[in-house]
Amino acid sequence: RKRQRYVEKDGKCNVQHGNVRETYRYLTDIFTTLVDLKWRFSLLVFILAYAVTWLFFGLIWWFIAYCRGDLDHLEDHTWTPCVNNLNGFVSAFLFSIETETTIGYGHRVITDKCPEGIVLLLLQAILGSMVNAFMVGCMFVKISQPNKRAETLVFSSHAVVSLRDDRLCLMFRVGDLRDSHIVEASIRAKLIKSKQTQEGEFIPLDQTDLSVGFETGDDRLFLVSPLIISHEIDERSPFWDVSRHQLEKDDFEIVVILEGMVEATGMTCQARSSYLADEVLWGHRFTPLLSLEEGFYEVDYGGFHQTVPVPTPACSARQLAAAAARRDAHLYWSIPSRLDQP
Collapsed DSSP state (helix, strand, coil) of residue 186 = strand
148-326 placed in CATH 2.60.40.1400: yes
Averaged pLDDT, 245-255: 90
Give the pLDDT band of residue 329 (cuts 50, 70, 90): low
More confident residue, 34 or 26: 34
Give ranges for CATH 2.60.40.1400 in the chain: 148-326
Taking phi over 0 as left and psi of -120 to 50 as alpha, with beta for the rest, 165 belongs to: left
- Which tens digit of pLDDT belongs to each residue from 195-214? 888 888 898 889 999 999 88
Q: What pLDDT score was predicted for residue 198?
A: 85
DSSP string, 187-224: EEEEEEEEEE-TTS-EEEEEEEEE-SSTTTTTTEE-TT
- For 271, list phi and psi in degrees, rounded to 5: -125, 140
Averaged pLDDT, 49-53: 94
More confident residue, 312 or 333: 312
Give the pLDDT band of residue 33 (cuts 50, 70, 90): confident
Q: What pLDDT score was predicted for residue 339?
A: 40
23-144 placed in CATH 1.10.287.70: yes
Give ranges for CATH 1.10.287.70 in the chain: 23-144
Q: What pLDDT score was predicted for residue 322?
A: 87
Give the pLDDT band of residue 2 (cuts 50, 70, 90): low
Q: What pLDDT score was predicted for residue 231?
A: 94
Angle at 315 (CA atoms; ends 310, 244), nearest 5 degrees: 70
Helix (H) or strand (E) holding 228: strand 227-232
